[in-house]
Amino acid sequence: MKKLHLSASSVAVALALVSGLAAAPAFAQETGNDGDSDEQSTDPHDRGNILVSADALENLDFIAGQDVLDLDDIQQNLNGQLGEVLSKVPGVSATSFSPGASRPILRGQDGERVRILIDGLGTADVGNTSADHATTIDPLTVERIEVLRGPTALLFGSQAIGGVVNVIDRRIPISVPKGGLYVEGITAFDTASNLRSGGVSLDAALSDTFVVHVDGSFRETDDLEIPGFQLSDDLRADLLGDAAEEEAEGEFEEAEELREAAEQSGFLPNSATETWTVSGGFGVFLGESSFGASVSYYDTAYGLVGNPEGGHHGEEGGEEEEEEGEETVSIGLEQLRLDLRGDIALGDGFFSRLKLRGGYSDYTHTEFEGAEVGTVFDTETIEARAELVQTGGGVIGAQFTSRDFAAVGEEAFVAPNETTQFAVFTVQEFELGATEIEAAGRYENVSVDSDTLNVDRSFDLFSGALSIVSAGDDGDGARFGATASYSERAPAGEELFANGPHIATQIFEIGDPNLTKESAWGLETFVRADLGQANFKASVYYQSFSDYIYLSPTGGEEDELPVFEFLQNDANFFGFEAALELPLVENDNFTLGADLRASYVDASLSGDTDENNVPRIPPVSLLGALDADFDAFNVRGEIEWFGAQNDVAEFETTTESFSFVNLYLSWRPIADNQNIVLQLAGENLFDTTGRRHTSFTKEFVPLSGRNVRASLRFGF
């Protein structure tokens, strides 16, 4: 595996930029502890119950679609890839390319329209370049995950036009642990992938003002067990038909190989994974101000399941290859990351705090054909943000990002390029009796250059949002609101400069250096209601895109792959999300509640033909669950239903509906420490075959079969 190329000069540049620009705040609002339990007050990473950037903004209602997954949620949905962890959140699906690579999809959008953050800064990987590239986040060392859908581009950049996923980790302590020491960890084992995993973190106070942190994790899986055949019915029929033709021509060996591929069942070949991480950091606390830094390393290796019709990386045959057999394809990925943060108290003037955040990443991603190196992706990224928090409510901020991307090898389908972004933004909140008004604006300049192609593009982007919320006379109960937004996004280097075989998606991609910026008007109405112990939230949204960037088939063929080119057209997205938590039985020793969720999105391109659907849009989905609590136990039963998707784009196949039934039993054996949780999970109990419509590989990569997982989480 290719090693990282971190140099002393690049580190110096990163530190100088972060120090000079005073990068941005932690994304989560650090409001302190609202609860009284000991586990909350001892955890040095506890940031309070909610969210979002800028503690000067009390409600931030223009981000209508928001969900937070805490440690209980992460343990229940534990998976090695972020997309699968979040797949039950309303409005969220997953790319599900393979067990080693799955990114979240928000409201039908992913890639360059969904920003994935680590404590407020980008992940700085190449997951947006292709669905077969993993995200450099291990859920084993995650503290909390925040999912924001809707008009958030103005806060977090043009790549957040579809939404934001922010992962809060444990790398930099934000307070001194009670008693001077805090240890937290999780371990898990399962049957479907023979999972062996564990993660642990430790915070130690060396003085009243200085805390050090270390953490690490390890996760290993074998080939994933699946129900029934690996291939879809249509793909099996195609291969069996090809086998009959080969046999008729006297090619008996080739016919037998095709039949074996068509009959593959029970497990996914070449789907094993191995991941490990390690990090260290510190926090310094000086009165009401704090500073911290961390260094972290992420390493993963995973197989990519091959397409029996063409192979994942398009093997062309040949006598030598036929003798040796098809080589398996795998990915080795490494990232070294430096992070800095600061929170400086400014007194009682117009600005109360300066919130700082910055990071540097050196990332290397190697694709292997058997033991041979195929393609190497290198990315060096610097990101810095700063926010000034206003005493009277509001925030003013700035952001800088520099990304240097290069790919070398047979499948380097994107020319080397460098992207530089600079932005300024503000968010303001006003109260007029029971009505709240929130306004936000952002200006961003994006420069995308490729010296290899002698192309230099620059884009000026403007975004804004205005939200009006009615909170009722007493501010309690139901809150109704509406948000109007406008967002702009510059085309990414991959969309501008692609020109070559992209075997992960089995197409030959051609970019367009003359693409213009993409823009979207949005309107969203929402309600959030706390009615007694019941909680209800729902959003209905509409986005109208101008110059929407998408891949379209040309009808041609190159390198035995269909040719797709990046085009622009108008597009419309419409959808809704809803969630209801309803208590059914409540007494001193027993509670029973219902949890209901629903999501729907429809997306189409402008045009006069019937084949104008945006590809890989998730179908309607429903989740119903019953939660029972008694003594130290919690029992949760779930039914997930995913509808059929028949509204497909050209060259896209339909997907059948399916349902999963899940059961979770959790036990907190120590009453005085609710952070110790033993859990036994049974997922897809009826061993149902499921295929995500959002996946490029759904025809030959079904979801996991029946899985039993045991896990232990602890913190003290």
Per-residue three-class SS string for 84-101: HHCCCCCCEEECCCECCE
Please give the average per-residue pLDDT across 234-255, as a whole number. Answer: 93
The CA distance from 512 to 448, in Å, is 13
96: left (phi over 0), alpha (psi -120 to 50) or beta: left
Q: Which comes out higher in pLDDT, residue 338 or 47? A: 338
Instruction: Please check whether residue 570 is in contact with residue 545, taking contact to mean a CB–CB distance below 8 angstroms.
Output: yes
Q: 660-692 burial by CB neighbour count: b if 16+ within 10 A, else e? A: bbbebebebeeeebebbbebebbbbeebbbbbb
The CA distance from 81 to 375, in Å, is 22
Return all residues near 95 (Cβ < 8 A) that are at least 6 apart: 83, 101, 102, 103, 104, 105, 110, 131, 692, 694, 695, 696
Which H, E and C letters describe 452-481, residue by residue?
CCCEEEEEEEEEEEEEEEECCCCCCCEEEE
Whether the predicted pLDDT of 673 surpasses 80: yes
The CA distance from 38 to 18, in Å, is 36
Whether the predicted pLDDT of 503 surpasses 80: no
Q: Count how many Cα atoms sit within 13 Å of the Cα of residue 692 in the half-sphere of its side chain.
A: 28
Instruction: Please check whether residue 600 is in contact with residue 622, taking contact to mean a CB–CB distance below 8 angstroms.
Output: no
Q: What is the mean pLDDT of the chain?
A: 86
Query: Residue 634: which of 581, 587, 681, 584 has the closest Cα?
Result: 681
pLDDT at 392: 80
pLDDT at 476: 60
pLDDT at 66: 79
Please give the average per-residue pLDDT across 177-192, as a whole number. Answer: 95
**Residue 359 phi, psi (nearest 5):** -160, 160
Query: Residue 399: which of 445, 361, 464 has the closest Cα?
Result: 445
Q: Could you report the per-residue pLDDT of 478-490, keeping only the tens digit for each?
A: 888 999 999 999 9
In a domain, 154, yes or no: yes
Whole domain around residue 38: which residue ranges?
8-230+268-715
Q: Could you report the per-residue pLDDT of 56-102, keeping only the tens digit for each?
A: 455 555 555 678 899 999 999 999 999 999 999 999 999 999 999 99
Query: If you ran DSSP here, which 8-state letter would residue 693 be given?
Result: T
pLDDT at 51: 45
- Confidence band for 8, pLDDT divided at 50, 70 and 90: very low
Please give the average per-residue pLDDT across 223-244, as a whole number. Answer: 95
pLDDT at 637: 98
Q: How many CB atoms lie within 10 A of CB 627?
A: 18
- Confidence band for 55, pLDDT divided at 50, 70 and 90: very low
If you average pLDDT over each of 151-160, 310-319, 552-561, 691-700, which comes out highest? Answer: 691-700
pLDDT at 536: 93
pLDDT at 150: 58
pLDDT at 504: 64
Q: Could you report the per-residue pLDDT of 157-180, keeping only the tens digit for each?
A: 878 888 889 999 989 998 999 889
Q: Which comes out higher in pLDDT, residue 476 or 348? A: 348
- Confidence band for 530, pLDDT divided at 50, 70 and 90: confident
* Whole-Å CA distances, 293 to 9, 22, 173, 214, 514: 19, 13, 9, 12, 41
Query: Residue 401: which of 487, 280, 490, 333 has the closest Cα?
Result: 490
Q: Which comes out higher in pLDDT, residue 333 or 28? A: 333
In a domain, 421, yes or no: yes
Specify the number of domains making up the chain: 1
The CA distance from 545 to 6, in Å, is 40
Query: If you ran DSSP here, which 8-state letter would residue 254 be given?
Result: H
pLDDT at 7: 41
Token readout for 564 is 């797709």
pLDDT at 367: 87
In a domain, 91, yes or no: yes
Q: 86-96 burial by CB neighbour count: b if 16+ within 10 A, else e? A: bbbbbbbbbbb
Cα R_g (the chain), whole angstroms: 25
Query: Residue 634: which of 662, 663, 660 has the closest Cα?
Result: 663
Long-range CB contacts for residues 474-480, cutoff 8 Å, separation at least 24: 475/434, 476/530, 477/529, 477/530, 477/531, 478/527, 478/528, 478/529, 478/530, 478/531, 479/61, 479/527, 479/528, 479/529, 480/525, 480/526, 480/527
Please give the average per-residue pLDDT across 406-412, as a whole number. Answer: 83
pLDDT at 502: 76
* Whole-Å CA distances, 590 to 76, 387, 581: 21, 46, 17
Instruction: Please check whether residue 59 is in contact with residue 475, taking contact to mean a CB–CB distance below 8 angstroms.
Output: no
Instruction: Please check whether residue 601 is in contact with residue 640, taking contact to mean a CB–CB distance below 8 angstroms.
Output: no
3-class state of residue 240 by DSSP: helix
Q: Tally helices (H) and strands (E) across the chain.
A: 9, 33
Whether the predicted pLDDT of 593 surpasses 70: yes
Please give the average per-residue pLDDT across 240-257, as a whole number. Answer: 92
Whether the predicted pLDDT of 231 surpasses 90: yes
In a domain, 235, yes or no: no
- Confidence band for 431, pLDDT divided at 50, 70 and 90: confident
Q: Could you report the per-residue pLDDT of 121-149, keeping only the tens digit for each?
A: 999 988 877 888 899 999 888 999 998 87
**N-terminal to C-terminal alpha carbon distance within the chain:** 38
Amino acid at 246: E
User: pLDDT above 90 covers what percent of the chain?
Assistant: 65
pLDDT at 471: 76
The CA distance from 569 to 603, in Å, is 13
Containing 238, the helix (H) or strand (E) segment is helix 233-248
Question: What CATH number is associated with residue 353?
Answer: 2.40.170.20
* Whole-Å CA distances, 86 to 68, 437, 512, 710: 10, 31, 33, 19
In a domain, 248, yes or no: no
In a domain, 263, yes or no: no
Angle, alpha carbons 432-160-437 (nearest 5°):
5
pLDDT at 47: 57
| Residues constituting the chain | 716
Q: Which comes out higher in pLDDT, residue 556 or 294? A: 294
Query: If you ran DSSP here, which 8-state letter would residue 231 be given?
Result: S
The CA distance from 569 to 323, in Å, is 47
Q: Could you report the per-residue pLDDT of 269-326, keeping only the tens digit for each?
A: 999 999 999 999 999 999 999 999 999 999 999 999 988 876 444 343 334 443 444 5
Range scoring the smallest mean pLDDT among 312-316, 388-392, 393-397: 312-316
Query: Residue 339: which of 266, 267, 281, 422 has the closest Cα?
Result: 281
* Whole-Å CA distances, 592 to 140, 566, 580, 588, 678: 29, 51, 14, 12, 20
Note the pTM of the prediction, 2 decimals. 0.89
